[in-house]
Amino acid sequence: ALPRDLEGVRVVVSAGGTREPLDPVRYLGNRSSGKQGYALARTAAQRGARVTLVSAHTVGLPAPAGVDLVHAGTAEELRDAMHAASPNAGVVVMAAAVADFRPSTRAEYKIKKTDSDPDPVSLTRNPDILAELVAVRAPGQVIVGFAAETGDSNADVLEHARAKLKRKGCDLLVVNAVGEGRAFETEDNAGWLLSADGGERPIELGSKAHMASDIWDAVAQLIQQ
Ligand code: C5P
């Protein structure tokens, strides 16, 4: 049986990949399946939390039992949903793959090959939602970020990740080493869990539910402090 160590804790989890529209039929998207975020939401609910799951696009995942599901298509919609849900949460987890850029304009009609502009896509930076949530965090709120890093070595990956944790200001950073049957479009994940106090531990290769348990163990420890 799972521990009930999140009993009554309000948790907000974002999941999936945003889609940034170009015109009525096209978007900029990414390969996030949503599985890790959904596993986090499901596990938190099983451990007693009151969970809001803010979901961008997924591979058609069903809503986990006992979770409030809110849909968000674009980064800006996801941002609004996170700011609405987070103020009275004890824990906020940004597992969504948020597009860093969106098309600067959304064409009202489908862009045609014959349109005179040879390069019709110009991009605008999306807000960094995680950094914003850290900036307005409630006292005692625990904030968890994700990082999908590539590098020549584990030391490389961890160095980037440590810098990201500092820059973003969150309490925990889940680091996925991308590639080789891990992270995107797979059932399994592996990586490290970095904490703001300098802690660092590996998460062994396993199911996304297994990774979710490790993450909630670390969060529960922080809450109890
Ligand atoms: O900087 P990078 O995109 O690698 O950071 C990943 C973390 O930041 C994830 O937790 C992701 O959900 C979050 N993020 C965000 N807003 C963005 C981009 C990423 O909240 N525009």
Half-sphere exposure (CA, 13 Å, Cβ side) for 130? 27
Burial of 13 (0-12, 13-18, 19+ CB in 10 A): buried
What are the structure tokens assigned to 15, written together?
């999941």
Do 172 and 193 contact (CB within 8 A), yes or no?
A: yes
Which atom, in ligand 1's list, is nearest to the CA of 95?
A: 12
pLDDT of residue 151: 83
pLDDT tens profile 22-72: 999 999 999 999 999 999 999 999 999 999 999 999 999 999 999 999 999
Ligand 1 close to Cβ of residue 100 (< 6 A): yes
ipTM over 0.95: yes
Burial of 2 (0-12, 13-18, 19+ CB in 10 A): exposed
Ligand 1 close to Cβ of residue 94 (< 6 A): yes
150-154 mean pLDDT: 85
Residue 131 alpha carbon to ligand 1 centre in Å? 8
Please report, as a single letter, which amino acid is at residue 37.
G
Three-state SS at 44: helix
Kindly tell me if the per-residue pLDDT of 206 is higher than 70: yes
30 is known as an active-site residue: yes
Tell me what percent of the residues of the chain surpass a pLDDT of 90: 83
pLDDT of residue 150: 82
Residue 115 alpha carbon to ligand 1 centre in Å? 34
Please give the model's pTM, rounded to 2 decimal places. Answer: 0.96
Which atom, in ligand 1's list, is nearest to the CA of 127?
A: 21
| Dihedral sign from CA coordinates of 123, 129, 134, 138 | positive
Which atom, in ligand 1's list, is nearest to the CA of 99?
A: 21
Kindly tell me if the per-residue pLDDT of 181 is higher than 70: no
Q: What integer best gives the mean pLDDT of the chain? A: 94
Closest Cα to atom 9 of ligand 1: 146
pLDDT tens profile 70-124: 999 999 999 999 999 999 999 999 999 999 999 999 999 999 888 777 787 899 9
pLDDT band at 153 (very low <50, low <70, confident <90, very high): confident
- DSSP-assigned beta bridge partners for residue 148: 176
Do 150 and 98 contact (CB within 8 A), yes or no?
A: no
CA distance 192 to 175: 5
Residue 128 alpha carbon to ligand 1 centre in Å? 6
Residue 102 alpha carbon to ligand 1 centre in Å? 14
Ligand 1 close to Cβ of residue 54 (< 6 A): no
